A and B are shown apart, each in its own frame.
Chain A
Amino acid sequence: AQSVTQLGSHVSVSEGALVLLRCNYSSSVPPYLFWYVQYPNQGLQLLLKYTSAATLVKGINGFEAEFKKSETSFHLTKPSAHMSDAAEYFCAVTSNTGNQFYFGTGTSLTVIP
């Protein structure tokens, strides 16, 4: 089965600084990879997804992620953090059949003014 590891359960950055949230998946390449964001008391919202069309994926709110097969990684970045980016971020992958979704344990992002 697939598995996802998110390094760092809590990340703090200053407003305007680079955001880097790490995600590694297990060795077999999944069909899809995702980043979701969860704001307080809300459900999960899709930030971006990788579907093998391009290794660099651009999402909403200025976020992007790069799929690196050699590193089995799909790290999420944003050049300049905004206060509104403070939220919980989840990385997820699908099974080879695409029917199962495996989520990381999440990274809580704090943005310091």
Chain B
Amino acid sequence: GAGVSQSPSNKVTEKGKDVELRCDPISGHTALYWYRQSLGQGLEFLIYFQGNSAPDKSGLPSDRFSAERTGGSVSTLTIQRTQQEDSAVYLCASNTITGTGELFFGEGSRLTVL
């Protein structure tokens, strides 16, 4: 696609439920990143994909968080048994290592856990 697309844009869920957040990167971008931005905070790195593999998943806060990427394209971030502290904006970004180095961001998925 023309830009990085994320869905849903807003998600309200109850504590203890599972949620899935989707990211569709720019076509041809091999690298994909997930970040979390809590209210008034900076960007917290979660995980990075190169193709379908994740060389760095060191930022995932707990084993309730997982992510996968299939076909070198779409990625899904899954949060199991959501907690109120998971409330944040989840940002996805992509780039190509043969390009100019910059990240292209989606508009984010705002998650609210009640």
Contacts and interface: CB of A to CB of B under 8 A. Distances in A.
Given A43-B107, A51-B101, A99 B50 contact: yes
B103 A101 contact: yes
B48 A103 contact: no
Nearest to A104: B42
Nearest to B91: A43
Contact of B101 (A32, A36, A45, A104): A32
Interface in A62-113: 90, 92, 94, 98-101, 103-106
The B contact surface, by secondary structure, is strand
A42 B48 contact: no
B41 A42 contact: no
B31 A99 contact: yes
Given A98-B97, A99-B55, A100-B48, A46 B107 contact: no
A45 B42 CA distance: 15
B102 interface: yes
Contacts of A43: 4, 91, 93, 105-108
A46 B97 contact: no
B43 interface: yes
B6 to A, nearest CB: 8
Given A32-B102, A49-B100, A105 B42 contact: yes
Interface residues on B, range: 20 to 34
Given A43-B91, A44-B91, A103 B105 contact: no
A103 B42 contact: yes
Kindly name the residue among A42, A46, A92, A99 whose own CB sees the greatest number of chain B CB atoms within 10 A: A99
A34 interface: yes
A35 B19 CA distance: 31
Contacts of B35: 103
Interface string A27-46: 00001101010000111111
Nearest to B101: A32
